[in-house]
Amino acid sequence: MEKKSEINGHAMPSSASTARMLENSEEPVEEDHQQQQEEKKRGCKERLTRFLSRNLLVILTVSGVLVGVGLGMLVRGMNLSKAQMSHFAFPGEMLLRMLKMIILPLVVCSLVSGAASLDTRSLGKLGGIAVAYFLVTTLIASGIGVALAFIIKPGVGAGALNTNSLGLESVSSNKETTDSFLDLARNLFPSNLVAAAFRSYATDYKMVAVGNDTNGTILYQKVPIGTEADGMNILGLVLFAMMFGVALRILGEEGEELIRFFNAFNEATMVLVSWIMWYIPFGIMFLVGSKIVEMEDVVLLVTSLGKYIFASILGHIIHGGIVLPLIYFAFTRKNPFSFLSGLITPFTTAFATCSSSATLPSMIKCVEENNGVDKRISRFILPIGATVNMDGAAIFQCIAAVFIAQLNNTELNAGQIFTILVTATASSVGAAGIPAGGIITIAIILEAIGLPTNDLSLMLAVDWIVDRTTTVVNVEGDALGAGILHHINQLEMKRHQQEVAEELEEVKVESVANVQAEEETSPLVMHQTKILEGMPEAIESVL
């Protein structure tokens, strides 16, 4: 019997040529399969390479924090001297100096160019929405702080705790609440813009003799006097830059050259920021490591103030993980966590530096590049947010105020609780965007409700722990606010484009209708067309 084989379902007699045909038909199938596997491997490699190149800075920054923790624990056992500790912290100090160096040109130029690029109507509307968003979120944060403090009761049973038992230096503030808010208003309008770059106004007091009483004792009166405190007056610079940008916009053509100058200055500053960001992973490693080395008796602090630390961090998790994302979703109907996933580098920077101002450069860059927020929005709203929006600070300040009241066995009435909410919301506007900037604000709240400020050093002792999550929540609120404003601006632009398109359609329809009407009714046109129709015949007859 002759062997038969099949090709495409048809029986074929077996032969050498048939075998070759079968081999040739199988070879392309094997080659296609190999090519597909190679393409899959190549595709996986390309995707991995693309992922690494896009997220390399994030991976390095997070790795820097983890390595810094390990390095700090390792060096901690070496019992370094104070001088050696300062040498160990030097790379981290350099990172902070770089970030602070870039704050002044970044804030001024971005606000001038941002305010000048928006028309006055849009600026007013967006500014109003931003202020409302900042006030509402800060008030919600204050409410969360007070509620958690009354639920967890961090100060109940800790009456024996004082600064001496923990070996802390006492911190006190004798500043009147009225003068604190007056200083806020004074700093909005600095008398010297150059000095505002490195100094701010602060009220101090001196005792002045005003006469004698009946016993001959000299009577003294506390008189407020103006002093200059070290630290940038960021509030005054922000207000001036905004007003200056609006003035340039109103000037029109005359102000365009100066607007272009500030735009170019701003772009050059962002290039510097992109260079600094590549140093962040290395600097953060030593910044975190040095903090761990400097810690003294952590166990004693955590056991003594554990409930206060827990209440503060829980408040930050609730506000940053639930409340703010829900507000963002309510406005935009988009996933807030996909928006936040593009901001891991600024969040890590905020966690390591404890400074909203120092996080501003990387935040602006990541919000624009990773989340596609309009430059005009981000460069206008983020510098303002870094100055006035302090949700995380409001939470821990309210918890601290209630904690100190419980520590001193003081029952707070409804009026005092309301005072805490309002004062924390208002005073967070003027809180410095620097490490431990909120401690001074707690003193204002305590003065407002009539509590002693002697226990502030307890807050300062654990501030390096709480301030990390505080700063992350602060900058998260700024970023989500920029996202909400960008969404509202996009809707306004679409609505405006639709209105313009509808107007153009109406004009088009009207013009077509007018042309048709003229053609049908105008005797002059009809007479001219008849003459023109008759002209070729006349020309032919002449020829």
Which pTM was predicted? 0.75
130-144, 382-396, 467-481: least confidently modelled range: 382-396
d(CA 488, CA 494): 10
Residues of the chain with CATH 1.10.3860.10: 60-162+176-190+233-496
Q: Which of 34-38, 41-45, 144-148, 221-225 has the highest mean pLDDT?
A: 144-148
**Confidence band of 371 (pLDDT split at 50, 70, 90):** very high
80-92 average pLDDT score = 89
Calculate the CA 190 to chain-centre distance.
25
Q: Is 125 exposed, middle or buried (0-12, 13-18, 19+ CB in 10 A)?
A: middle
Residue 297 confidence (pLDDT) above 70:
no
Q: What is the pLDDT of residues 238-294, one digit of tens each?
A: 889 989 998 998 898 899 999 999 999 988 998 898 898 889 899 989 988 888 887
**Confidence band of 364 (pLDDT split at 50, 70, 90):** very high
| pLDDT at residue 446 in the model | 83
Q: What is the pLDDT of residues 207-252, one digit of tens each?
A: 887 777 777 778 888 888 888 888 788 888 888 998 999 899 889 8
Q: Is 415 helix (H, G, I), strand (E, B) or coil?
A: helix
| pLDDT at residue 525 in the model | 44
| pLDDT at residue 319 in the model | 97
Binning the chain into helix, strand and coil, the percentages to the nearest 5 are 75, 5, 15
Q: Write the CB contacts of 239 (distance below 8 Å, at least 6 apart in sequence).
A: 188, 189
Residue 334 confidence (pLDDT) above 50:
yes
Q: Is 2 exposed, middle or buried (0-12, 13-18, 19+ CB in 10 A)?
A: exposed
CA 116, 117, 118: angle at the middle one, nearest 5? 95
Does CATH number 1.10.3860.10 belong to domain 60-162+176-190+233-496?
yes
pLDDT over 70 percentage in the chain? 80
323-329 average pLDDT score = 96
Determine contact, residues 157/181, Cβ cutoff 8 Å.
no
d(CA 95, CA 101): 10
Residue 155 confidence (pLDDT) above 70:
yes
| pLDDT at residue 273 in the model | 86
Q: What is the pLDDT of residues 487-531, one digit of tens each?
A: 999 998 898 888 888 888 877 766 665 555 555 544 444 444 444
**Confidence band of 453 (pLDDT split at 50, 70, 90):** confident
| pLDDT at residue 482 in the model | 95
**Confidence band of 539 (pLDDT split at 50, 70, 90):** very low
Q: Is 315 helix (H, G, I), strand (E, B) or coil?
A: helix
**Confidence band of 3 (pLDDT split at 50, 70, 90):** very low
Three-state SS across 441-501?
HHHHHHHHHCCCCCEHHHHHHHHHHHHHHHHHHHHHHHHHHHHHHHHHHHHHHHHHHHHHH
144-148, 218-222, 379-383, 435-439: least confidently modelled range: 435-439
Residue type, 33: H
Which one has a higher pLDDT value, 313 or 458?
313
Residue type, 2: E
| pLDDT at residue 277 in the model | 86
| pLDDT at residue 502 in the model | 84
Residue 199: phi and psi, rounded to 5, are -140, 155
| pLDDT at residue 513 in the model | 58
Reported as type and span, the H/E element at residue 206 is strand 199-212
Residue 6 confidence (pLDDT) above 90:
no
Residue type, 336: P
